[in-house]
Structure 1
Amino acid sequence: MAKTCRTRVRMWRWRRNSLRRRSDVIEAWVVLIAAIVAIVGGLVAGVTVAQTAEESLNRQRLERRTASAVLTEDAPGMNVARVVGEDRVWATVRWTAPDGSARTGLTQVLPDTAKGTPVTVWTDRQGRLEPKPGSPAAARFQGAWAGTLAAISAGVVVIGAAQLVRGQMDRRRMQEWADEWQRVDGRWGRATS
């Protein structure tokens, strides 16, 4: 059996061609515009989200302050159920807020730390406990990841919308083709009977 070779004609929707339909030209424009919007929109979304995330993390680092706190209970030992990280456990501490009020809350401390031991905690401007802010390098890294995910998501949304439009156009072309075939088939049917 002879092997057939299929030739691919690139950019055929943009060339003058007697077989090219109006819907083919519209589809080519949809694909081109979607590609441009996906690339440019993805880049803009990625850069914007990266800058916003990094600024937010840097602002947290500037707004959070250290406060001296005291353990109000003996810290538990290394218990699998209470372990936070590799070497920290949760324990209740007491500290003084900027307004002078006494506050209590849970924070991470070394296991088996005795009651009354001073520890350093991070608080916001109102004196609420907050996690330790990340370093500038961590803020850049998290901002870069957030920007990358935003860029990819924006591109996927635009390309997905373009695919939906193309699918709708394909359904319409198939319906037009079926209607045309019915007209041709009807003429052939009358001629042969």
Structure 2
Amino acid sequence: MRRTKCAGQLLWRWRSNPLRRHNDVVEAWIILVVWTVIALGGTLVGVMAGHAADESFGQLRHERHSVSAVLVENTARIAPTAEGTAHDWARATVRWTTPDGSTHTGRALVDSGHRAGSRVVIWLDSSGRPTTEPPTAWAAAFEAGMLGAGAAAAFAGLAFATGRVARWRLDQRRYAEWGREWDRLGAQGGHKTT
């Protein structure tokens, strides 16, 4: 019995009722459309954003490759601060040899605390310039999932806000109708309470 009563309260705008106004039906349709857009559109936007981010990270992993390099200069050990250090990396000048035998020099991120002449691993982009290490498959999947969830939430928020604005406009219309009704009823009764 309680479940039937609850369902009846949720669907009151859809039932035939002499007190139901046109605005109530319009509001019911707005609510239905907004929640459908949130459920389907949010899911679609989230999946598309996550897939695009995953493809982008996959392309980074495909384009970047690691090579062995020699430090040209010392890298100082970074002393931890009160806040702590996020990474134990330093930018240093390194020298590496490409597969065709040519030698290149450039600045790259390397582990700190090494002396000049030490061998380190650096990452190069497709044009042979030093770059950062691409995200691992697990990190890329996690970040793509978070980006997809963020895109879905942003889309859902936009759809919900649009629905709230439409319902606010309906409320403004209802208030105007009620004001006209009060004015009409007050004129029929012959006196006003204000």
TM-score by shorter chain over 0.5: yes
Q: Distance in 2 between matches of 1:58 and 1:29?
A: 42
Matched with 1:133 is 134
Matched with 1:180 is 181
Q: Distance in 2 between matches of 1:12 and 1:163?
A: 19
Q: Which runs of 5+ in 1 are unaligned?
A: 1-6
- Contact 1:76–1:91 (Cα < 8 Å) also in 2: no
From 107, 110, 113, the counterpart of 2:112? 110
Matched with 2:121 is 120
Q: 1:104 to 1:166 in 2, by over 3 A?
A: same
Deviations 1:120-168 (A, max 9, x none): 1001112222221122222222222211222222112111110110011
Matched with 1:169 is 170
Q: Distance in 1 between matches of 2:56 and 2:94?
A: 28
Please report how far the alpha carbon of residue 179 of structure 1 lies from its aligned counterpart in structure 2 after TM superposition: 1.6
Q: Which runs of 5+ in 2 are unaligned?
A: 1-5
Amino acid at match of 1:147: G
Q: Distance in 2 between matches of 1:160 and 1:127?
A: 47
Q: 1:28 to 1:104 in 2, by over 3 A?
A: same
Please report how far the alpha carbon of residue 96 of structure 1 lies from its aligned counterpart in structure 2 after TM superposition: 4.8
- Contact 1:84–1:90 (Cα < 8 Å) also in 2: no
Q: Distance in 1 between matches of 2:139 and 2:130?
A: 21
TM-score (norm 1): 0.83
Matched with 2:64 is 64
Q: Which segments of structure 1 move beyond 4 Å, counting only runs of 4 or more?
A: 81-84, 96-101
Residue identity over aligned pairs, in percent, reads 30
Please report how far the alpha carbon of residue 187 of structure 1 lies from its aligned counterpart in structure 2 after TM superposition: 2.2
More divergent stretch after superposition (7-16 vs 64-73):
7-16
TM-score (norm 2): 0.83
Please report how far the alpha carbon of residue 35 of structure 1 lies from its aligned counterpart in structure 2 after TM superposition: 0.7
Amino acid at match of 2:23: S
Deviations 1:75-119 (A, max 9, x none): 11232369552xx231312235869573421413131x1112221
Q: Distance in 1 between matches of 2:121 and 2:11?
A: 66
Amino acid at match of 2:43: L
Q: Distance in 2 between matches of 1:150 and 1:40?
A: 13
Q: 1:83 to 1:72 in 2, by over 3 A?
A: farther
Specify the SS of the correspondent of 2:121: strand
Q: How many residues align?
A: 182
Q: 1:83 to 1:162 in 2, by over 3 A?
A: closer
- Contact 2:64–2:124 (Cα < 8 Å) also in 1: yes
